A and B are shown apart, each in its own frame.
Chain A
Amino acid sequence: MAALLAPTTLWFLVMLIMPLIVILIFSFGERAAVGGYGGGFTFEQYANLPARLKAFQNTLTYAPLGTLLSLLVAYPLAYFLALKVDRRFKLVLLVLVIVPFWTSLLIRTYAWIYILGGRGIPTILEWIGIEGVRLINTPTAVLIGIVYGYLPLMVFPVYVSLEKLDKSLLEASNDLGGNSFKTFLQITLPLSMPGIATGCMLVFILLMGEFLIPAFLGGGKVFFIGNAMVDLFLQSRNWPFGSAVAATLVVIMLITVSIYMRLAMRNKTGADQSLM
């Protein structure tokens, strides 16, 4: 038994616990003159966090907003796939939603540089007389990239919970005089909450550490904590400050995720364990 667990435990110790402890120690240190870590014990790095306030603000705005938008786009599609589509096409359509997720996010995001860039949609808009629209390097571009990148991850859990839903409940509700909209609000939506909770959590967690989408589609203007960290560690080589940012991000995530989990549990909609 111990032999079976030993490699995993070792991995956790060396690759998870040790790095996190090092980050924590560095975050209380000073920057060496040539960059990197210069030892010492100070709260200066944490006191300096407001210097990167914008990155935190952006992340904490666009991560929830992107999650919400993904849900709004994904839900009707999941509903369509689970309840409206002919059985014969169901599997094919479902696979078509998942396929993009299995291909490189890097390349898929890259495509949007074209589409939103100067020769993409803005050019098309110019043809029909709308001029001066700028899309690339705006918050809109980042949000489009987010929805595009994480849509499959949202559709799937919602689809699963809608698929599991007992169809006779919908018929019972209609039979009891509820119209389609009331049936949706009172039966379908509450019963699909576990899928919504799981999907939102997955997307939110990934968005909190997002780097690629803001880097490609936000230019230097819409940047996340992830972009700030890349900048701090690789460009300015300010390891202690970067560590403080990373530690703060981890703490924020632990807090938001545990609050979210607690809320989800309280509503008895608990995120789907198997997907977590």
Chain B
Amino acid sequence: MRIYATVVYLFLYVPIGLIVLFSFNAGRHASELRGLSIQWYGKALSNPFAGDAFFTSLEIAFIVAILSSLMGTAAALALQSMKGPLRVILDGLIYISIMIPGIVIGIATLVALVTVFDFFNPLLATLWPEGYTPPKLHMGYASVIAAHTLFTMSLVIIIVRARIAGMDRALIEASMDLYASPWRTFYQVTLPQIYPAILAGFLLSFTFSFDDFIISFFVAGPNTTLPVYIFASIRRGITPEVNAIGTMVLAGSLSLLIVAQFFMRDGRRRAKVN
């Protein structure tokens, strides 16, 4: 049993180890180790395309995380006390948006938005006053953010709703009993209770958006996110530069994970009381 576990852990970590090892390769070819150097890190960091892609991804992931935590939490709170057909429909949509493969979301969004834009752009052009360049709707930041948020928002709804369901209803009553109005009860009792879930949802949304390749691949338009850039680099041919970027992304995810763990532990300690 122990040997088996060791083999599985090796299976999980040897490939990651290889990526890191080869990122320090002094040689040009990715699959032959010729001494160690950090030259590829320098190359990766000074590569303007990789840098742009990285910051684009960061920016998108951040906005996605904020949007989905806000909208997801609001929806989870509203759905909590809701019954009837609208509730059934929204529940259905939440599960569909999580279940439908990213690739279908990507393609459908691309096709739908391009069609809508093709319809609106000439309209805008005719409506716009003479002499000014009319705005042109196109794929880009906004479409990636919108498509990512569809999935992550549903994720936040589910996480926050589970937390609300696990919350002791008596706490709300206790607060009302102690003269707090519904609004004060919300921010003094409910919010502190569900904030670990919101934070978890925020981090999950951020990681999903930052790591997502397939949706961005379709809807990013002229903007390139980091995964799309890495995909293209791998397609072009394997160089240790990709390894260097990959290693940095892994290190970034890991540090984020440690930060998340820190917050989650705080939340779990509180959750234990209930």
Q: Please say whether the chains A and B touch (CB closer than 8 A).
A: yes
Residues of A within 8 A of B (CB): 1, 4-5, 7-9, 11-12, 14-20, 22-23, 26, 37, 73, 76-77, 79-81, 84, 93, 95-97, 99-100, 102-108, 110-115, 117, 119-120, 148, 151-152, 205-206, 208-212, 216, 226, 229-230, 233-234, 239, 242-243, 246, 249-250, 253, 257, 274, 276
Residues of A within 8 A of B115 (CB): 22, 37
Residues of A within 8 A of B238 (CB): 110, 113-114
Residues of A within 8 A of B9 (CB): 93, 96
With A226-B103, A250-B100 already in contact, the answer to whether A8 and B227 are too (CB < 8 A) is no
4 smallest beta-carbon distances between A and B, as pairs = A209-B101, A19-B108, A111-B15, A4-B78
Residues of B within 8 A of A37 (CB): 111, 115
In-complex Cβ contact of A107 among B19, B102, B157, B214 (8 A): B19
In-complex Cβ contact of B5 among A80, A95, A276 (8 A): A80
Residues of B within 8 A of A76 (CB): 1, 4-5
7 A-B residue contacts at CB 8 Å?
A23-B111, A107-B19, A110-B242, A112-B15, A115-B18, A242-B107, A246-B107
Binds A, one of B40-48, B132-140, B142-150, B175-183: B142-150
Q: Is the CB of B147 within 8 A of A15?
A: yes
Q: Is the CB of B157 within 8 A of A229?
A: no
B67 nearest CB across to chain A (Å): 8
Give the complex CA separation of A132 and B223 in angstroms: 43
Give the complex CA separation of A26 and B114 in angstroms: 13
Q: Is the CB of A102 within 8 A of B18?
A: no
Q: How large is the interface on B (under 10, 10 to 19, 20 to 34, 35 or more residues)?
A: 35 or more
In-complex Cβ contact of A73 among B8, B19, B254 (8 A): B8
Residues of A within 8 A of B249 (CB): 103-104, 107
A232 nearest CB across to chain B (Å): 9
Taking the complex as formed, is B77 at the interface, i.e. its CB lies under 8 A from any CB of chain A?
yes
Give the complex CA separation of A80 and B99 in angstroms: 30
With A11-B71, A104-B253, A114-B18 already in contact, the answer to whether A233 and B90 are too (CB < 8 A) is no
Taking the complex as formed, is B74 at the interface, i.e. its CB lies under 8 A from any CB of chain A?
yes
Residues of A within 8 A of B14 (CB): 115
Interface centre among A105, A114, A208 (most CB of B within 10 A): A114
Give the complex CA separation of A7 and B112 in angstroms: 19
B1 nearest CB across to chain A (Å): 5
Q: Is the CB of A216 within 8 A of B1?
A: no
Please name the residue on chain B nearest to A20 by beta carbon.
B108
Residues of A within 8 A of B108 (CB): 19-20, 22-23, 246
